[in-house]
């Protein structure tokens, strides 16, 4: 366990290295942006069966589109928990 902890911390310090904090912060922002984009694309509109997902034409039935939208709408709960823990760590320097 100590090797794992030393891999993420700065030398001679018990805090997580700033590079990893920046990487995690950018990852969280990217995940939120992609999640919002996919939910927006999957919103039903005029019964069309195709959606453009990242520039690619994808054919999805209305029922499947709705199921994917419901599944992806549950992801913000876990994202909010993760983002809250991350911001709490940044503010207090402890988990």
Per-residue pLDDT tens over the stretch 44-61? 777 777 888 888 888 888
Q: Which residues contact 9 (CB under 8 A, 6 or more apart)?
A: 15, 16, 17
Q: Between these two residues, 10 and 17, which has the higher pLDDT value?
A: 17
Q: Which residues contact 41 (CB under 8 A, 6 or more apart)?
A: 51, 52, 53
- Are the beta carbons of 32 and 77 closer than 8 angstroms? no
- Count up the domains in the chain and report the number: 1
Does residue 94 surpass a pLDDT of 80? no
Cα 72 from chain centroid (whole Å):
11
Does residue 9 surpass a pLDDT of 60? no
Q: What is the mean pLDDT of residues 6-12?
A: 56
Buried b (16+ CB within 10 A) or exposed e, 61-71: eeeebeebbee
Confidence of residue 1 (pLDDT cuts 50, 70, 90): very low
Give residue 80's domain range. Answer: 2-92
Global confidence as pTM: 0.66
Q: What is the mean pLDDT of residues 75-93?
A: 80
Give me the pLDDT at residue 95, please: 57
């Amino acid at each position: 366990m100590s090797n794992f902890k030393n891999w993420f911390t700065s030398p001679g310090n018990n805090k997580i290295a700033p590079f990893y904090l920046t990487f995690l912060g950018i990852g969280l922002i990217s995940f939120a942006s992609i999640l919002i984009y996919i939910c927006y694309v999957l919103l039903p509109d005029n019964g069309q069966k195709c959606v453009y997902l990242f520039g690619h034409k994808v054919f999805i039935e209305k029922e499947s589109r709705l199921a994917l939208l419901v599944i992806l709408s549950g992801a913000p709960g876990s994202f909010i928990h993760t983002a809250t823990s991350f911001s709490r760590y940044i503010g207090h320097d402890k988990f």
